[in-house]
Structure formats: structure tokens, C-alpha cells
Amino acid sequence: MAAQLSANNFNQKAINGEEPSDYDDHQAMAEEKKGEGFAVEEPNNEECAVERVDRLSKTVTEFQEHLRERVSYYLGYPANHNCEHYLALSTLLQFNINNVGDPFKESDHGLHSKKFEVGVLDWFAQLWGIDKDEYWGYVTNGGTEGNLHGILMGRELLPNGILYTSQESHYSMFKIARMYRMDCETIASLATGKMDCNDLRDKLLINKDRPAIININIGTTFKGATDDLDLVVQTLEDCGFSRDQFYIHCDAAISGFVVPFLKQAPKFTFKKPIGSVSISGHKFLGCPMPCGVLLTRKRYIDILSTSIEYIATVDTTIAGSRNGHSPIFLWYVLNIKGQKGLEEDVEKCLINSRYLRDRLKKAGINSMLNEMSITVVFERPPDSEFIRHWQLQCLGNMAHVVIMPHVTVEMLDHFLYDLLQKRNIWYGKLQLAPLLAKDIGICNCVCSVHA
């Protein structure tokens, strides 16, 4: 059905006299591949159990080779693939561990890892400047679940509140507004991707009679921009919102592991009037399964607590059953790396980000790198095969590379070499860079008009 829809879209363009673009082609191919899968086959009576396991292992081994090959071209998505150290935890796969319910409450269920979970949460609480007895949190299934919890908390505390989030926010924010049936004001973004606080002020003033639930981004999805928390708070105060009339959630899915380790960066901490923060654990930290952390203030959590007799604990989380392995993986990597190791990873990624940005600029390619960011934005290559090969994420005229710890200078050189070779084919020797000033700002555009 999806493939059919895409084909129709393709045909519609042809009918309208428009050339179907490479991007349509990319979409159509991605959708057409949906039907393929490794079939689940009934055990064959002629095959003994050992042969069957050998056959299955062969498929898994081949798949592993495929993953290894894809990792060396993994540039566009925000995930760290330095995961070898997690192999030490593989023996835990023989246990079905479930952290259902509240991490801090005892339950009768014995196969849980809440001691690891609480250790991880304490570590994050310290990083975000909130005392042990002041915070509440849990290990989530990823950034989206943390956003779901943070915004739910805001809505329960301020039931008539309007959600304000910038246009550069992750799509989960707009989905959450729909799920919770909240009124949502989309705030304009600057060319850097930061929230435009003038637009925020205008919209707050129009809705002065209702509380404000504000999502701020610590690392936007596409441009890696970090919103100015102090300016947002100042804007709220200037518009006459007192502390009990607003709630701030921080979506730190991507840069929650970058910004806190930068000496020059503005402080994001619970010492400021924020209500919650959500960070992904599979992005910068590279946990091999989706996970994350949600922190909030302990005094808020009662509003979401319900005692559930048959799990013999309190329900305070979004999910029921919760992954019991991921807190152990988070605990393990935080212990392996320590604060110093994480600082080194961040420093290396920032250096490599600047390296890529500078090399692109030198080659006459429009590019942008925000402060405190590891996301390099540049012009979208007009070739879906190239995009697929390097697993680039694209939006409109732009593509981006996220410099995670597994990305080496050698990998970037390989990418740059390939890009420059392909540009000769795409644009000919003249290499006229397309206009990108509207997307990334005039100062980052090297087109013939703005250079």
C-alpha cells in the first residue's frame, strides 16, 4: 500500500509535468523494500536441532557483517557505534530483567536491576545540579518517552497550560501535543535553529491568561542548536508569568551529554527554574538498545503516582514493563568512562566537527556548525544513492553529519573525498554551490552571491 502511494506520488508529478526528483526516488525505494524480511520458518523434521541452530547462526553472522560494513559509513544519525565494551555484559542476556514500576519503590518482582537504575539516576542528578532527596527520575526507553513524561508532568501541574515549542523541535513534541490534546504554539526559530525569543514573547503576551509549558531544546534534531534557557526565563518574567504559572521541560536528547561537559557553556541545572529533562542513552553514550533518562523534581511526582496492587509497587512511569538491561548498560559505561572519559569524547567530537566544517568551507561547500554542537549542516547532495550510502539525514535543501565518538578523521576524509569526486559529476567542473542562505544564514553560505 505504502509503495503504491509513493508510486502514485511519482506518477502525479509526471502528470503535473514535474520531473520526479531523486528524493522521491529515495522515498519510493525505501518504501518498496518494506516487504522483504528474513522469514520465520517452521522447524524442518529432516534437520536436527544442531543443524537448525547452525543455519540460524549463519544468518545472524552474515547480518553482523552487514552491520559492521554499515557502521563504517554511519554519519548522519545521532548514535555512537563504539559499543565493543558492552560485550562484557552479554552473559546478562540469559536473564529476563524487568524494572516495572517506580525505580525507588520496592516490589515483589525479584528480577529487576533497580539498584543499577538508582545509581545511574544519582549520577545524572549530580550532573544536573539537584540533590539526591530533591529529585525523582527513571531510565526510559529513549528521548521520546522522557519528553512524554516531562510534558505530562507540566500538563498535570498546569492543566490549562499551552505548550510552546520551537519549529526546530523534534517531531515527538508535536506528536505529544496531539496525544495529550494540548494547545500548542509553535515558536519561530532563528537561522541557527535556536528558539526566537521575540516570537516567544509575542505569543506569550497573546495568551497571558493561561499558564505556559515550554519545551526548550538542548541540541535541536537537525541543526544541533541549544535554546537560551536564561533568555526564555527572562522572557517569561518580562511577560508577567510568575514561577507557578510556567513549567520548563528540557529536551536534551542529543546534547545532554555534550553541553554539561563544556567549560564555557551556559549552565543547564535544576538550580534554575526547570521542571524536567530528558536525555537519550543510545545516542552519545552508545548504549546498544534505545534508552534514556528522565529527571524531574521529587515534589512533583505524587501527581502522577498510582498504587497498583498486582505489581506490588507504584506506577509513576509511562511504560509498564521496563527494560531491566538498559540501566545496567548505562551504569557500566558511566563507570568505564567516568567524567574524564566523557569530557575527552566530547572534546574529540568537537574537534572533528570543526575539522569537517572547515574542510567543507575550504572546498566551497555551504556548511554550518553551531556553538556547543557536533552537528555539521551542509547542502543536500542531489543523489539518493550517496545519501543512502553515507546514511545522511536530510531536510529540505540541507543534509547533516553528526560527529559521534565512532566517527574518525579517516572516516571524514573518506567521506570528503567521495563527496568532492561526486560533486564533479553532479555539478561539473564549475561547481556552483546552491543557494542556502535562507536555511543556514548568510554568514555560512558560500554561494556566488554571498561568498
Ligand X SMILES: Cc1ncc(COP(=O)(O)O)c(C=O)c1O
List active site positions: 373
* Residue list 60-99, contact with ligand X (CB under 6 A): 78
**Stretch of 35-43, 216-224, 347-355, 358-366 contacting ligand X, by CB under 6 A:** 216-224
Scanning residues 264 to 303, which ones bind ligand X (CB under 6 A)?
280, 290, 292
Q: Is 411 in the site for ligand X (CB under 6 A)?
A: no
For the chain, how long is the longest CA-to-CA vector?
Answer: 77
Nearer to ligand X, 144 or 313 (CB): 144
User: Residue 346 or residue 419: which is nearer to ligand X going by CB?
Assistant: 346
Which parts of 143-172 interact with ligand X (CB under 6 A)?
Answer: 143-144, 147, 170, 172
The reply on whether position 193 binds ligand X by CB under 6 A is: no
> Which residue's C-beta sits nearest to ligand X?
143
Q: Single out the residue of 120, 151, 253, 258 in contact with ligand X (rule: CB under 6 A).
A: 253
Judged by CB, which is closer to ligand X: 280, or 323?
A: 280
Neighbours of 208 (CB within 10 A): 11
Binding to ligand X, residues 324-343 (CB under 6 A): none
Beta strands (DSSP E) in 101-156 are 135-140
Phi, psi of 385, deg, nearest 5: -65, -40
Q: Do the beta carbons of residue 397 and residue 406 sit within 8 Å?
A: no
Among 254, 294, 369, 392, binds ligand X (CB under 6 A): 254
> Do 368 and 444 touch, CB atoms closer than 8 A?
yes
Alpha helices in 363-451 (DSSP H): 384-389, 409-427, 437-440
For the CB of residue 318, give the shortest distance to ligand X in the complex, in Å.
12
249 binds ligand X (CB under 6 A): no
| 392: contact with ligand X by CB under 6 A | no
Nearest approach in angstroms of CB 81 to ligand X is 15
Q: What are phi and psi of 187, to 5 degrees?
A: -95, 140
Stretches 68-76, 115-123, 178-186, 249-257: which one binds ligand X (CB under 6 A)? Answer: 249-257
CA distances from 229 to 196, 197, 266, 396 (A): 12, 10, 9, 28
Confirm if 263 and 112 have CB atoms less than 8 A apart.
no
> Which listed residue (217, 316, 370, 393) binds ligand X by CB under 6 A?
217
Total count of residues recorded for the chain: 451
User: Measuring CA to CA, how many Å separate 188 from each of 166, 193, 196, 365?
Assistant: 6, 9, 6, 26
Nearer to ligand X by Cβ, of 142 and 381: the residue is: 142
Q: Rule CB under 6 A: is residue 405 a binding residue for ligand X?
A: no
**CA angle (401 as vertex; 395, 402 as ends), nearest 5:** 115
Using CB under 6 A, count the residues that bind ligand X. Answer: 17
Which C-beta is closer to ligand X: that of 79 or that of 212? 79
From CA 247, how far away is CA 379, in angstroms rounded? 37
Place of cell 526510559: 140
Nearer to ligand X, 290 or 327 (CB): 290
Task: State the cell numbers at 192.
Answer: 541557527
Which residues of this chain interact with ligand X, rule CB under 6 A?
A: 78, 142-144, 147, 170, 172, 217, 219-221, 251, 253-254, 280, 290, 292
